Amino acid sequence: MSKEQILIRLEELTKEFNGTVAVQDLSLEIREREFLCFLGPSGCGKTTTLRMIAGLERPTRGEIYLRDQRITDWPPQRRNIGFMFQNYALFHHMSVYDNLAFGLRVRGISRMEIERRVRSIAQALELESVLHLRASRLDLSTMQRVALARILVIEPQVLLLDEPLNNFRPGLRELMRAELKRWQYQFGRTMIYVTHDQEEAMTLGDRIVVMNAGRVEQVGTPDEVYWHPATLFVASFIGRPPMNLIPVEYRISEGRAFVRSPDFEIKVDQRRSIIEQSQALPHLILGIRPEQLRIWDPQGSFPTSWTRLPVQIDLVRPLGRKLILDVKTPSGLMLQMIVPSTRHFAPGERVEVAFDPEQIFLFDPQTGRGLY
Amino acid sequence: MHKRTWVSGLIRWGIVLAISVLTLTPVVWVLSLSFKPPQEWLAYPPTLIPRQPTLENYLVLFWPGNPVGVVSEMVRTAEPVTRAFINSLIIVPISTALSIIIGFLAAYGISRFRAGGNFLPFSVLTTRMFPPIAFAVPLLVYYRSLGLIDTHLGLILMYTTFTLAFSLWMIKGFIDSVPRHIEEAAILDGASRWRVMFTITLPLIRGGLAAAALFVFIMNWTEFLFALIFTSRFAVTLPVQVSRYAGAVGRYYGPQAALGIVASIPVLVAGYMIQRYLVRAFTFGLVK
């Protein structure tokens, strides 16, 4: 990637609050015009990272670069960064017009120019009819548009959004999510978006930064984090229902490599060299996505290489066109699978499950690293 | 169910009524007293409506020497209240304004930057922990050497200092209730800290400021002890003037009551003017 496409560069960014580490050694390059999502459970340091980029928190260590200029010590006023807070932080005592004009007035822009820019952004976000209203009298989705307009009107280098959809009820949430995506195309700005909602991150993000306990677990496209989870945490955090994780043992017999659980045995000759770098051998964790497990049926065209496993259905959860089945293996292990709801399943029913042994994930239980 | 709400309504109204009677009785009594001639001041049984109502008590406040009747004879040597009134109208608003301004700036620093450390807000309260009279003697020594006795400036400084603890704590509560994010949004918009303070925070808590200001104003307006000790002739305030209506044979209750009524008018006016802020302050700020 060429140098000028990088908008923001974080170098070993660390933030400690009274001795507790909120963010640790975070290094990241954020590209021009991309939609980057920070995803992680609450308290993982994603909001703190955002606030450091904005200049609202000073990093304990590390550097922040904006277009190759070191801005680590710049006050937030100088950075020209738009920040959308979870509760929008509108100026409730002012009209919508004054809210939008605030940043421009601070910059000493002429009255006519302010009027022109406020009108034009209000038109783009359909706010013309509420310009005269007090900000405290708006409904949530209008507040969101005002908050966005307020940060767009100062023409920021980058927009930071801190869980802006948290206050919406589920149906409206999807709608506003689509709106956000549309706005990003429309205004063509770099957006950094913080959320704990994986669906939001998957649908919005060009790339996702998965964080946990102050550290970056993985940076990648939605497909990458889903199909190539770098760590056990990413594998278990992303996907609903979550990936099935099964403790297995690594064995070599007659010169061939296997992973073995009480219920099945899989040949892993091709991955042998990677597996043997693992710290915790012979123990490994095997992962299978719920949709990778299929109901075996004799007429079906399943390759003979697939592993088969007799199970008993424990719970059936219909989801419309799909079903979530909780099944129990002979050794008592519970697995979750997603199947099309083309036939009926009943709890207690015995079926056979099949999966492609080539597609399984393996993790080092000690370091949590994915073994690819 | 219906009966219960009826009973609880009755109890509630009963409590409101009892509190109203308790607080209003002295006011009504003073009002009635201010229109009574001397023989009715301590009459037994007391009268609520004066039998021979008179305006003399009010007239002698401003024209003490004018021979109108018995009361003017009693207070012939008193000074007209005009001076005390003007003094109060100079000292109290200025010291209230100073107290609120300094209180706001200090509260902002404490609330947003923990200025002065964790102990500062508490230590400010120590000025109110001692009985005020404990400060009187040392202050008297200071004031004498500084030439501040019986001056407006002397009382202004004193009132500002002693009410600062209240303004600081009240205003700090209101500032704490303003979400930090709103200020941060303004900062990210490019505004300086001062600009944020005066164009964002201040307007958002103006109801609270009004409430604090009224509270401090009333405290200063009714302050008696320091005014009595630190003034003699020139800078006498209204509460001291009230105490002046006394003679060898006892207190002149009529003029005292009349002055009490006159003196409460500015407070009533001030309270009425900021009433719409008060309701908001007491519902938004204090009761969170």
Q: What is the pLDDT of residues B188-225, one digit of tens each?
A: 999 999 999 999 999 999 888 998 999 999 999 999 99
Confidence of residue A220 (pLDDT cuts 50, 70, 90): very high
Q: Chain A contacts of B192, Cβ < 8 Å?
A: 77
| Mean per-residue pLDDT, A66-84 | 93
Pairs from A297-306 (Cβ < 8 Å, separation ≥ 24): A302/A354, A303/A356, A305/A356, A305/A357, A305/A358, A306/A354, A306/A355, A306/A356, A306/A357
CA distance A1 to A34: 14
Q: Report the gap between the CA of B184 and the closest CA in chain A (Å).
A: 7
Confidence of residue B2 (pLDDT cuts 50, 70, 90): low
Residue B269 confidence (pLDDT) above 80: yes
What pLDDT, in 10s, does the model give residues A91-145? 999 999 999 999 999 999 999 999 999 999 999 888 999 999 999 889 988 998 8
Kind of pairing, strands A215-220 and A265-267? unpaired
CA distance A307 to A186: 48
Contact (CB, 8 A) for A313 and A327 = yes
Contact (CB, 8 A) for B175 and B201 = yes
Residue B203: closest C-alpha in chain A: A93
Mean pLDDT of chain A: 91
Q: Are residues A279 and A188 in the same domain?
A: no
Q: Report the gap between the CA of A161 and the closest CA in chain B (Å).
A: 12
Q: Helix, strand or coil for residue A288?
A: strand
Q: Are residues A57 and A190 in the same domain?
A: yes
Q: Are residues A136 and A267 in the same domain?
A: no
CATH number, domain containing residue A307 = 2.40.50.140
Look at residue A124 in the predicted model and tell me its pLDDT: 87
Q: Chain B contacts of A89, Cβ < 8 Å?
A: 179, 181-182, 184-185
Contact (CB, 8 A) for A79 and A55 = yes
Structure token pair of residue A118: 């406020």
Mutate to test the interface with A, among B114, B180, B189 (most CBs of A within 10 A): B189
Residue B48 confidence (pLDDT) above 80: yes
Instruction: State what percent of residues in chain A have pLDDT above 90.
Output: 67
Domain boundaries B82-244, corresponding CATH code: 1.10.3720.10
| Mean per-residue pLDDT, B8-29 | 93
Asked whether residue A370 is domain-assigned, the answer is no
Asked whether residue A195 is domain-assigned, the answer is yes
CA distance B208 to B215: 11
Instruction: State what percent of residues in chain A have pLDDT above 70.
Output: 99
Give me the residue from B187, B189, B200 closest to A154, CB to CB: B189
Asked whether residue A372 is domain-assigned, the answer is no
Structure token pair of residue A206: 């060009």
Look at residue B187 in the predicted model and tell me its pLDDT: 95
Indicate yes or no: CB of A89 within 8 angstroms of CB of B181: yes
Asked whether residue A17 is domain-assigned, the answer is yes
Q: Which domain holds residue A93?
A: 3-237
Higher pLDDT, A55 or A189: A55
Q: Report the gap between the CA of A77 and the closest CA in chain B (Å).
A: 4
What pLDDT, in 10s, does the model give residues B117-155? 889 888 888 888 888 888 889 999 999 999 999 999 999
Residue B190: closest C-alpha in chain A: A77
Residue A164, CB half-sphere, CA atoms under 13 Å: how many? Answer: 31
Give me the residue from B185, B190, B199 closest to A107, CB to CB: B190
Q: Are residues A41 and A188 in the same domain?
A: yes
Domains of chain A: total: 2
Indicate yes or no: CB of B179 within 8 angstroms of CB of A87: yes
Confidence of residue B168 (pLDDT cuts 50, 70, 90): very high
Q: Is the peptide bond before B45 cis (omega within 30 degrees of 0)?
A: yes
Look at residue A360 in the predicted model and tell me its pLDDT: 92
Running DSSP on this structure, what letter comes out for residue A12? E
- Specify the pTM: 0.83
Indicate yes or no: CB of A92 within 8 angstroms of CB of B182: yes
Look at residue A342 in the predicted model and tell me its pLDDT: 85
CA distance A53 to B192: 19
- Scan for tokens 């919406």, then name that residue: A168
Residue B184 confidence (pLDDT) above 60: yes
Look at residue A162 in the predicted model and tell me its pLDDT: 93
Considering only CA atoms, which of B227, B222, B213 is closest in space to residue B271? B213
Of A210, A237, A264, at which residue does a domain stop? A237
Q: Are residues A260 and A207 in the same domain?
A: no
CA distance A152 to A162: 15
ipTM of the complex: 0.84
Instruction: State what percent of residues in chain B have pLDDT above 90.
Output: 60
CA distance B159 to B286: 24
Q: Are residues A60 and A155 in the same domain?
A: yes
Sign of the torsion formed by the C-alpha atoms of A215, A219, A224 and A225: positive
Q: Are residues A187 and A40 in the same domain?
A: yes
Show the CA angle centred on residue A58, arms to residues A57 and A59, nearest 5°: 115
Q: Chain B contacts of A154, Cβ < 8 Å?
A: 189-190
Q: Report the gap between the CA of A152 and the closest CA in chain B (Å).
A: 10
Of A209, A237, A265, at which residue does a domain stop? A237
Mutate to test the interface with B, among A17, A57, A83, A99 (most CBs of B within 10 A): A83
Residue B287 confidence (pLDDT) above 60: no
Give me the residue from A55, A56, A92 closest to B204, CB to CB: A92
CATH number, domain containing residue A97 = 3.40.50.300
Mean pLDDT of chain B: 89
Q: Are residues A292 and A156 in the same domain?
A: no
Q: Chain A contacts of B198, Cβ < 8 Å?
A: none
Indicate yes or no: CB of B179 within 8 angstroms of CB of A150: no
Q: Are residues A121 and A14 in the same domain?
A: yes
Q: Is the peptide bond before A222 cis (omega within 30 degrees of 0)?
A: no
Residue A106: closest C-alpha in chain B: B191
Look at residue B283 in the predicted model and tell me its pLDDT: 57
pLDDT-wise least confident of A290-304, B92-106, B252-266:
A290-304
- Scan for tokens 């760590």, then name that residue: A231
Asked whether residue A369 is domain-assigned, the answer is no
Residue A1 confidence (pLDDT) above 70: no
Q: Are residues A113 and A185 in the same domain?
A: yes
Contact (CB, 8 A) for A254 and A220 = no
Q: Are residues A177 and A87 in the same domain?
A: yes
Q: Are residues A212 and A302 in the same domain?
A: no
